[in-house]
Structures are given as C-alpha cells and as structure tokens.
Structure 1
Amino acid sequence: MMRRWLLVLLISLSGCLNHPRPDAPIARHDFGDPAGRWPAGGIAIRQVKVEAAPWLDASAQLYRLQYATPLRRESFAASRWVAPPGELLERWLERVILPAQPGGVGGCRLVIMLDELEQRFTSPTASEVVLAVRANLLQGKRLVTSKAIEIARPASTPDSAGGVRATRAAVQALAEALAAWVEESRQLASACASS
C-alpha cells in the first residue's frame, strides 16, 4: 500500500515538470559549439542531411518516466530547443564535417535519419539521454553503406538542464561514431570520389 501511494505521489510530482509557474521564463537551448575535428582523408562528404521522425519535428525537449509510465512521452514545459532537434543536428554536423572536406566536385551525401532523442528517467533521481540514428552514405540515389547508431549518456542532474548537457555529450559522441564509421569504410572512398 505504501509503495502504491509513493508511486502515485511521484507521478503527481512529475506532472509539475509539465506545468511551470506562470512567471517562469522558457529556457531555449541548442547543442553548443562542436568540439574536435573531423578526420581528413576519409570518404569525401559533400552534403549532410538530417531527417527526423515525426515526433521530433518540433522544438519540445522530450522525456519519458521509464520507471512509472514507460509508454508515455512528455515534454518539459519550461525548456525548449531553439529549433527542432533534426535541424539542430544537421547544422551542428555540417559545422563539424564540411570544413574538413576537400574542394572540388565529387563526394557522397551523408543522410541521417534521427529516430530518437529523449531523456529517459529510470527513477526520480536518475536519467539518461538516448540518441538513435540511421546513417546512410549515398552516391546520387545509390546507397553506398549504412549504419545504425544508438548512444546513451547519463544526465548529471534529473531535470531538463541535465538533459541538455547529456544531449550535448550524446551529439559529440555521435560525431565521433560517425567519423569512426567513415574511417572503417575508407575502401568505399573511390565510389564517393566519382559521384
């Protein structure tokens, strides 16, 4: 009985995440400046495109109470992204990847399907951000190679601010994973060079 009461209390308190005080300003976040460099000499990439799942086509910062309502997606009421996550990720990756590319013609298109970006609470005091993508290298319309990547990073605090910092870490880890994947696929560089 006590456990059921505690669960009801926690769910009720979590509703406060969705109802800010009337005078509370909405915080707007982005992914920050990219860190590190894209490795030179791999597959030439001439364009980066990110397409997002329909539920990520808004500026809401999403979370899920995995321990209480695992089938319910919520959004923080007082915290938003400055643009839909797919747009933020596309601009961020362009800033990382495109300056490292050789001049001239040729190169593949990197098309990323953003399938998931949410903060998952495993308890009232612990959460992680999960970022899931499907990355495709295309020569014209022909698929050269593809890879599914899922990254989870713990949030330093169990709130939207912790989720923003964990998202930043997850996006940086995604760039590193993409760079490693491209490096592993160097034998395909000739296909991209002639596109």
Structure 2
Amino acid sequence: MKNLTLIALLLFMAGCSVNSKHRNVALHDLGPVTFAYTQETAPTSTIKVSSPTWLSDTRIYYRSLFLTPTVLKSYTLDRWIAEPGELLQRRFSLIKAVQGRVLQIQLIDFEQQFDAPERARSSFRFSAEVFRSGSRKPLGQRIFSYSQENSTPDAAGAIKSFSELSNRAANDLALWLDTLNASAIKE
C-alpha cells in the first residue's frame, strides 16, 4: 500500500511538471487601419454585419484541404479578440460614411485553408446590400471575395493575411459605395 501511494504521488508530481511552460492564449484583432477611405467624423450611415452561427465566436478557424476538406478546426492558443463579424464591422465603420444609407453585410466564410502542410492561405467572403435609410429596396448588392497566401502556414500567417485582406475589403467597399452614391446623385 505504501508503494502505491508513493507511485501515485510521483505520477502526480510528474504530471504537474510536464506542462509547466504553459502558454497563455493570445488575443488578436485585425491590426492597424491602412486603407485610404477612413472617415474623419462620426459615422452617419448604419453598418450591420451578420455571421453564420459557426462564425459567432472568437476561434481562428482553419481547414486542411489536402487531408480532410470537410473538417473545420481551430487554433488552441490563438483567438480573435471578438468574433470576425464584429471585427469587420469595426473595420468597415471607419469607411467614409454615405449619407442616409444602411449597409448590411452577411459574412459567408472567414477561414485559413491549407493546400499542403507547408502552404496556407486566408480567405473570406461576404455579401453587401445598401439601402436608403427607411427603404427596403436595395440600391446595390454585391459579393466580395478575398484570398491571400500566408507568409507562414500557421496562426500568425493567417492573422497577418486577414489584416491585409480586411483593409483591402474596406477600401473596395468604400469605392463601391462611392460609385453607388455617384449614381444616386445623377438620378
């Protein structure tokens, strides 16, 4: 009995030291804004971003297309500081406002995809609809799609690409809204 207690104590102590270099979960956002169409005043338009249920958390998702293309996994030690839809809403709210407009965005996907163990890319898609305030008839609809190779095939590479892609998406969205606004003025 004494030997069993000693063995149990040694196993317990060994188990405590195995993971002694525990790494905390790192929280990430989309980084600094680097697009040209930022606004200088408070927004006068409304931007609503919605996401599918599976994107309504803070996990950073990836998919191994070469191995199990239907299985979505997430990183354990890296997370978004907020769900991707909220991060994009914050990013897109910095776009120069289009007076009296409502912008509705539906996030379709937001994930890292591995084509091979050493090659990954970040990709996301969303649909956008613009309405006059108080109207149900859209002024414009469009699907935006982005994909970029990661500098490294890991969470850091995915985060860097998502940051760059979100800036590009904000710029493209601003240009599209300007085009719609110019068309509305001509009418």
TM-score exceeds 0.5: yes
Aligned to 1:93: 92
Unaligned runs of 5+ in 1: 1-19
| Residue deviations 1:26-50 (CA, integer Å, cap 9, x gap) | 111000121133188xxx9611111
Matched, 1:119 2:112: yes
In the TM superposition, 1:12-23 aligns within 5 A as 23=22
Aligned length: 163
Q: Percent identity?
A: 26
Secondary structure of the 2:167 match is helix
Structure 1 segments of 4 or more deviating over 3 A?
none
Aligned to 2:165: 170
Residue pair 2:51, 2:106 contacting (<8 A) in 1 also = yes
Aligned to 2:36: 37
Larger radius of gyration: 2
Residue pair 2:28, 2:79 contacting (<8 A) in 1 also = yes
In the TM superposition, 1:19-98 aligns within 5 A as 23-38=22-37, 46-94=45-93, 96-97=94-95
When the two chains are superposed, the root-mean-square deviation of aligned CA atoms in Å is 2.3
Q: Give me the whole-angstrom Cα distance separating, in 2, the residues matched to 1:153 and 1:45.
A: 32
Residue pair 2:36, 2:171 contacting (<8 A) in 1 also = no
Residue pair 1:33, 1:92 contacting (<8 A) in 2 also = no
Unaligned runs of 5+ in 2: 1-18
In the TM superposition, 1:129-168 aligns within 5 A as 129-139=122-132, 140=134, 141-168=136-163
Normalized against structure 2, the TM-score is what? 0.80
Q: Give me the whole-angstrom Cα distance separating, in 2, the residues matched to 1:21 and 1:53.
A: 37
Normalized against structure 1, the TM-score is what? 0.76
